[in-house]
Amino acid sequence: MTAASLPADARALQAFGPGKIILLGEHAVVYGHPALAAPLSKGVRVVGVPAAKCLIEAAEPALKPEQKEALERAFAKVAKAVGAPGVSVSLSSDLPVSMGLGSSGAVAVACARLLLQAKGKPFTPEKLESLALLMEREFHGTPSGVDHTTSARGTMLLYRKRGPIRAVKARRPVKVLVALVGERTATKVTVAQLRERQARWPKTYRRLFDEVGRLAELGAKAAAAGDLAQLGDLMNINHGLLCALGLSSERLDAMVHQLRARGALGAKITGAGGDGGAVIALFQEPEPTVAHLLNEGVSCFSSLLAGPETL
Ligand code: PMV
């Protein structure tokens, strides 16, 4: 039996792109400072079956019409760059969309990986990342690259937009609770508004960004040493600085405080923030708190980010 005569399902290709969280350093990373980021266990899965054309079936029900259009535009870009292999791609995700958990980076990595597989030639990690970036740009404008790089590498990173990117090997498991709070504006809008505020207060904002970058470097050391108490403290300080930068809200702060009161070692917003979005809390064992919060109607889950068993 030739490949062409196989049933479509038997010839299906599959790829996965994990979502991400930023433990320390969002926004400052756009201005060249390091950020500590890690992949989530949740992410985006794509399946590709042979087809006459290279196309994406934007069947993901959580997407708004404008998000579907952006997805199709972004996919067309990467498809063209790969040479448009004849494959029809469908997408499924267990990652909340537009909540600061890197869903667009995960889509970009999963699609780029699948299209490269469909070409049937070996490819380098650099090739995968550069194609995923093409897609990310369509979603985010001028992203720092932290989302798709963390998704593509699948490991905790001390990420820099320019300069060395370092994998962080954690001596002890790093587990977080991720809570979802309301809705939020698009990352590119929040990033643009911050840029306007920064232009009004350049020196003050530079000092705040410098400090956020230092927290990320210290956090990478704390995670590597397995010092969760220190990592939690750094997250709390980072949240304070994000508030100073105008990136939190009453309801995000309320969730941060609730999680600290329930014993989190540290809690902060993750991703772009704004009015709503995702809050992360570092726990040695997040599961009991996840169960409590779910009972109270809070949308949340836990994820192992790094640790000896993920190396
Ligand atoms: O898309 P989000 O909400 O996960 O935010 C990405 C992180 C930012 O630092 C706010 C933007 C960027 O490009 O790094």
pLDDT tens for 197-237 read 999 999 999 999 999 999 999 999 999 999 999 999 999 99
| H or E stretch at 20 | strand 13-24
Across the chain, mean pLDDT equals 92
Share above pLDDT 70 across residues of the chain, in percent, rounded to a whole number? 94
Share above pLDDT 90 across residues of the chain, in percent, rounded to a whole number? 82
Does ligand 1 come within 6 angstroms of the Cβ of 187? yes
Average pLDDT for 111-120: 95
Ligand 1 pocket mutation pick from 21, 23, 24, 29 by most atoms within 8 angstroms of CB: 29
Cβ count near 195 (within 10 Å): 14
Does ligand 1 come within 6 angstroms of the Cβ of 105? no
Evaluate if residue 78 carries a pLDDT over 60: yes
pLDDT tens for 162-205 read 989 999 999 999 999 999 999 888 888 999 999 999 999 999 99
Does ligand 1 come within 6 angstroms of the Cβ of 272? yes
How many Å lie between the centroid of ligand 1 and the Cα of residue 57?
A: 26
| Amino acid sitting at position 86 | G
> Per-residue DSSP letters for 236-275?
HHHHHHHHHTT---HHHHHHHHHHHHTT-SEEEEESS-SS
d(CA 180, CA 45): 21
Active-site residue list: 147
d(CA 75, CA 127): 16
How many Å lie between the centroid of ligand 1 and the Cα of residue 78?
A: 21
Cβ count near 94 (within 10 Å): 12
Rounded to 5 degrees, what angle do the CA atoms 145, 146, 148 make? 70
Q: Is 262 left (phi over 0), alpha (psi -120 to 50) or beta?
A: alpha
Does ligand 1 come within 6 angstroms of the Cβ of 26? yes
